[in-house]
Structure 1
Amino acid sequence: MASFRRFRPDDLDKFSKCNLDPLTETYDLSFYLQYFAKWPSLFQVAEDPNGNIIGYIMGKLESSPDYFQYSEHYLPWHAHITALTVAPEARRLGIGKILTENLEVAAEAGDAWFVDLFVRKSNTRAINFYESMGYSVYRVVKDYYGDNVNDPTAHGEDAYDMRKPMSRDKTLKHIREDGRNHDVQPEDVF
């Protein structure tokens, strides 16, 4: 049985089980601590009875900068899932769902229009998971994941920008049914 709580800085020493997955982005320490300092209610962990971290979610509340407000790509106040991961031995137990639902509760409390995230186009398991929770593809970010740093001419993998409306978006203004047909470049997303 897992328990859920807010992230604490000493949890960084316990992330290795979660971050060994090749689809999990791993960040430097200052990045994790920035989320802890700015958005503590959107950074939660799941731990097993022995105190091992078996999952976590990092999120933030933000909007595009003011200079971006006249762009067609402007993002109003919303929550963003930066990272969600569950250790391999703890998958299929509903931990990712609970972590995501907890973040959505915080997004509602923050009066967000929607929750969004980026996921690799090839990560069908994650895409299916998010779709089962009410997320849909809003747009395709071309070459978002630039994995081949040794070859600057190589193309990266596309990302789906997926969204789920919050109760503030009563008319679903920030959701699309045909999102897979809307391509943008990485510099168009904030």
Structure 2
Amino acid sequence: MYKVEPMLPSDIFSLDWVNLDEKSESFPLSYYLYYLVNHGEDCIVIPSLPEYKTSFTYKRNVCAYMIGKLEEKDGFINAHISAVSVAPSYRKNRFGRLCMSVIEKSGDVYNAHFADLYVREGNITAIEFYKKLGYAVYRKVFNYYVDGDGENALDMRKSLKMDRNKVCMARGADIQASELK
């Protein structure tokens, strides 16, 4: 049986194999540590089984993770998903959906109006996955990804309980990445 657990600093060293495919983002150590220190309550993992101990370290393999944060944007509290990834061999187990629901429920607890995320415009599989979960494109962010050819991102949102009238879902104007705050 699998369970959702808080991400530990040692888990960062088990994330590489979760991010093996070309569509998953990998980040520097400092990125993960920033989230653990400042938004640790919104960083989770689903460890794979079995966990094991060695004489020097306690290591657990991670089959899925999500890092996020609650923030205020344009006068609304929102739950921002910074990264979610599931190891390729675990993708049919609904772990991505489970990770997303954790941040959405956290948003509901703290009266967030919406959950949002950025996804590469060319990552059709992820876009379709998010749409199945109720996310919609809010706007396009041009040149968001600085690696390679400066690929655009889609800013996707899903209304939470505080946004009963779906005010936060109204389509926003497309912007350049340099205009983001």
CA contact (8 A) 1:41 1:106 kept: no
Give aligned-pair identity as a percent.
Answer: 35
TM-score (norm 2): 0.88
User: Residue type of the partner of 1:22?
Assistant: E
1:124 and 2:116 matched: no
Unmatched 5+ stretches in structure 1: 65-73, 149-154
Query: What does residue 97 of structure 1 align with?
Result: 97
**For 1:138 and 1:171, how far apart are their aligned partners in 2?**
16
Query: What does residue 170 of structure 1 align with?
Result: 164
Query: What does residue 185 of structure 1 align with?
Result: 176
- What RMSD in Å do the two structures reach over aligned CA positions? 1.6
Change (3 A) 1:75 1:147: farther
Unmatched 5+ stretches in structure 2: 52-60
Number of equivalenced pairs? 172
> Displacement of 1:75 after TM fit?
6.0
Change (3 A) 1:75 1:125: farther
**For 1:23 and 1:40, how far apart are their aligned partners in 2?**
25
CA contact (8 A) 2:43 2:65 kept: yes
Query: What does residue 83 of structure 1 align with?
Result: 83
**For 1:63 and 1:35, how far apart are their aligned partners in 2?**
16
User: Residue type of the partner of 2:41?
Assistant: S
**For 1:20 and 1:63, how far apart are their aligned partners in 2?**
32
CA contact (8 A) 2:140 2:154 kept: yes
Query: What does residue 154 of structure 2 align with?
Result: 160
**For 1:146 and 1:124, how far apart are their aligned partners in 2?**
19
> Partner of 2:144: helix, strand, or coil?
strand
Residues 90-111 of structure 1 deviation map (CA, whole Å, 9 limit, x = unaligned): 1111000001101111111121
TM-score (norm 1): 0.84
**For 2:97 and 2:64, how far apart are their aligned partners in 1?**
11
